[in-house]
Amino acid sequence: MAKRIHHMGMTLTKKNHDRFHRAAPALPPKQHEALMKQMKITREQDEEWHRTHLTLAEQRAQGLKPVDPFALGGGFLAWCVQHGWLVHKGGTYFASKEGLRELRSQFEISL
């Protein structure tokens, strides 16, 4: 079964959610107001959200793309294994002496 995401009053599969956000047009102010009213979001809550988040239009204008932090973290772990800084055994990662030293000096990561 596909992963379900509850977003803005809708339940979508992850694939459809991603497709929606790639193609969604910017909401005109009246539609935005109507959507917020339907979702029972106060003007203060909406203003706070807009202070702390980028809209889709702002993300597109700045050329930004959301990142899955788990994919990024997994890629970094694989990179550390390739460099011999980490050893992956039975689902657990172990740091080598060189790995401890390099992670601390290059990335300020203390294990």
- Give the model confidence (pLDDT) of 50-72 as tens digits: 889 888 778 888 888 878 888 89
Alpha helix ranges (H) inside the chain: 14-23, 29-38, 43-52, 56-61, 69-82, 97-107
pTM for the model:
0.54
How many residues are given for the chain? Answer: 111
Tens of pLDDT, residues 26-55: 788 898 888 888 888 899 998 998 889 888
- Does 105 or 4 have the greater pLDDT score? 105
- Does 57 or 85 have the greater pLDDT score? 85
Q: How far is CA 84 from the centre of its chain?
A: 28
% of the chain with per-residue pLDDT over 70: 95
Rounded distance between C-alpha atoms, residue 73 and residue 70, angstroms: 5
* The predicted structure's pLDDT at residue 60: 80
